[in-house]
Amino acid sequence: MVGTALAAALGSNPLTASMKIVLLDRQSPADLEQGLSPVPESRNSALIRALSRRLPSSLTSLQPASVQSIHLPGYSNKDQQGGSQLATISLEDGRHLRTRLLVAADGARSRMRSLAQLRTVQWMYNQRGLVATVRTAEPHATAWQRFLPTGPLALLPVRHGFSNIVWSTSPAQAAELEASSPMGFVAAVNQALQEPSDQTPSGLASLQGLLQRGQQMPQPPLVSELAGGSPKSFPLALCHAGRYVRPRFAMIGDAAHAIHPLAGQGVNLGFADVSCLAQALAEACEAGTDIGSLSFLEEHYERPRQRANVSMMAGLDLLKRLFTPQEGLLANMRNLGLDTVNIMPAVKQQIMKYAMG
Amino acid sequence: MRAAKFASSKLHGVKLQRTFATGSSPLLPSDRSLAAERSDGLQQLQVESAEVQKFSQLAEDWWNPTGPFRPLHQLNPVRCKFIRAALCDQYRLNPAASRPLTDVTILDVGCGGGLLSESLARMGARVTGIDLSAASIDLARAHATMDPQIAKSVTYQAISTDGLAQQGRSFDVVIASEVIEHVDHPPAFCRSLADLTASSGTVILSTINRTVRAYALAIVAAERVLGILPRDTHDWSKFITPGQPPSRFRQGGTPYASGMSLDVASGRWGLSEDLAVNYIACFRAAARHAQASQPS
């Protein structure tokens, strides 16, 4: 999706609209839309369709096409002297492509990243992210997230009464949920969302009572049934590439950085990468700069994006650690802090603006 | 005093870097070669061979963005944007197009390793790059072969402006960027640039302005204190000011001159209204008249 977004962004700027672009994907467009969600008109497929309408006319789509190998120029000054030879991509069907810039947008387990020999820093969260699609008793338009002892459970509205569940939980509970019956799963979700939380100590409770007075805290909707396939889970890890670029190569989206789903920021960071890189490429066109040159990619893409992504990731990591404890002073201070923010609309607006990019 | 104040505000917080080997010898008057006389009495323009040597020794490093030519790499995007805007305005081309200079012929005088030539080729121009340093020309040719589109659009020659003019060549646009300050006789050099420009064509010069501030900032600061440029790259007596329009040119109009300044702390160049240090200007070549051979 971020790859298509980049192509669309380039198409919408006259400076970059006539660049020769090739969009490669292992899956055909039909498979891509189908595989994403059982929900008709799901968020992702709607996005992809909208982006596809903005692709530049100079774009060539090679879908499906598999990459067998890539050849990128080296880093050393001697190699740079020789040029910055163009990059070569060899496809499994025997075709070869040469390009001034290869952009990898192939997700968290990026194959391009390993072919380009770029390393990542990873740590596992000892949690699995479980995803499923459900129907709610009533249609709703609010994204809910409840922080449970084992991790956050998110209920995200889609359309027509469908919602997505993203439940970060322990490997044991994830296995249990995956193995449960559809009704069992629905019951577990409802219990997790609706169950009242434990009491806080009296001193802080009266302060909380003060803050919550007059605030009608609505309840999350009841989930009525599981839609589509059974729930699936994947291991949660933070994964960040040490370098996003090398000569003639750049990574965007999850290929460069995979984060905890707790704030729903993953694809937002990817879109921010797209915006930054598209802008940089337009400036390069204006100044006649070689779009594959390492110094250009470092200065106009990698440096600003790493700074932004790392601070977001650090913030999320902090949030995750902050929300893990369920009792004790830290938990109580945190709850008090959230209640305080809840009654300050200006602060909430700022937070929302930041999260929406 | 004023120059010192300006210099200090720009120098604040900068890390000192040596970018040039300290073994180089300073330019001595006795090293300079004399300009040769042509048989028809016109003085042949000859950039001093010692000047050329300074660049030939560094030829390998032309394309190293962190090497001794780092300031030129940093300057390049800004001067290219100026050139693009000025030429689009001049020739009514579309600045938002991806290759607006298609079919424009450009001569890049003192092209060195081809930094400017390649950028202009990417904008669609047909570029000829010339330099007196054969080593630089060899490197420029080798670099251009890496990208087939560039290889088709740029040709290089190790030749002087006079030599090229004698071949009867002429170009829509002649650019001498960061060159004139290295030339022995700027007025004669400008005459040769005009000779190479098509009637009502354009000459673009970028150079360091000759003011006390330029001296303080560019030479003292950049060369000696910050080590940004190899020592003795610039000789103050060679700077020309935008107030001395070479006689064969007339100014193309106010939008066509701009200052260029370096924010030393961030390493970024930008266009500015301050012409006092580095500037770039675009001149319309005057229509051809019967030639007077006095130097201007």
Known binding residue B12? Answer is no
Nearest residue of B to residue A286, measured between CA atoms? B81
CATH number belonging to the domain at A126-234, selected among 3.40.50.720, 3.40.50.170, 3.30.9.10, 3.90.79.10: 3.30.9.10
CA distance A259 to chain B (A): 31
DSSP string across A337-353: HHHHHHT-HHHHHHHHH
CA distance A301 to chain B (A): 15
| Interface contact B147, partner A, CB < 8 A | yes
Q: Rounded mean pLDDT of chain A?
A: 81
pLDDT of B269 reads 64
**What integer is the mean pLDDT of A267-295?**
93
- Determine which of A108-117, B10-19, B28-37, B58-67 has the lowest per-residue pLDDT on average: B10-19
Structural domain boundaries enclosing B120: 2-292
Tens of pLDDT, residue by residue over A118-150, are 888 887 778 888 888 898 888 888 888 888 877
Q: What is the CATH number of the domain that holds B69?
A: 3.40.50.150
A86 vs B146: CB contact, 8 Å cut-off?
yes
Q: Are the beta carbons of A133 and A164 closer than 8 angstroms?
A: yes
pLDDT of A261 reads 67
3 state DSSP class of B174: strand
Q: Is the pLDDT of residue A53 over 50?
A: yes
Report the C-alpha gap between A134 and B251 in whole angstroms: 71
CA B200 to centroid of chain Cα atoms: 21
A83 vs B84: CB contact, 8 Å cut-off?
no
- Chain A positions touching B66 (Cβ under 8 A) are 295
Which residues in B40-133 belong to E strands, given as ranges?
A: 105-109, 126-131
**Percent of chain A topping pLDDT 90:** 29
pLDDT of B293 reads 35
**What integer is the mean pLDDT of A153-179?**
87
Q: Which of A344-348, B60-64, B289-293 has the highest mean pLDDT?
A: B60-64
Name the band, by pLDDT with cuts 50, 70 and 90, for residue B13.
very low
Q: Is the pLDDT of residue B288 over 90?
A: no
Tens of pLDDT, residue by residue over B109-136, are 999 999 999 999 999 999 999 999 999 9
Q: How many domains does chain B have?
A: 1
Name the band, by pLDDT with cuts 50, 70 and 90, for residue B164.
very high
This complex has an ipTM of 0.72
| Interface contact A290, partner B, CB < 8 A | yes
Name the band, by pLDDT with cuts 50, 70 and 90, for residue B214.
low
Q: Is the pLDDT of residue A245 over 90?
A: yes
Helices (H), A288-344: 294-297, 303-323, 329-342
pLDDT of B2 reads 31
DSSP string across A83-123: --PPEEEEETTS-EEEES-EEE---TT-HHHHHTT--EEEE
pLDDT of A276 reads 96
pLDDT of A272 reads 93
Q: In A, residues 178-207, which contact B (CB 8 Å cutoff)?
A: none
pLDDT of A274 reads 95
- Domain A2-119+242-316 belongs to what architecture? 3-Layer(bba) Sandwich (3.50)
Name the band, by pLDDT with cuts 50, 70 and 90, for residue B198.
confident
A288 vs B122: CB contact, 8 Å cut-off?
yes
Domains in chain A: boundaries:
2-119+242-316, 126-234
| Interface contact A279, partner B, CB < 8 A | no
B60 vs A81: CB contact, 8 Å cut-off?
yes
Q: Are the beta carbons of B40 and A61 closer than 8 angstroms?
A: no
Tens of pLDDT, residue by residue over B232-282, are 455 443 444 444 444 434 444 333 556 666 666 665 666 665 655 566 766
Known binding residue B178? Answer is yes
pLDDT of A326 reads 63
**What integer is the mean pLDDT of B134-145?**
93
A14, A82, A287: residue with CB nearest B119: A287
pTM: 0.73
B80 vs A288: CB contact, 8 Å cut-off?
yes
**Percent of chain B topping pLDDT 70:** 52
pLDDT top residue among B252 and A315? A315
CA distance A29 to chain B (A): 29
pLDDT of B34 reads 30
CA B71 to centroid of chain Cα atoms: 13
Query: Is cis: bond before A304, omega within 30 of 0?
Result: no
**What integer is the mean pLDDT of A86-104?**
94
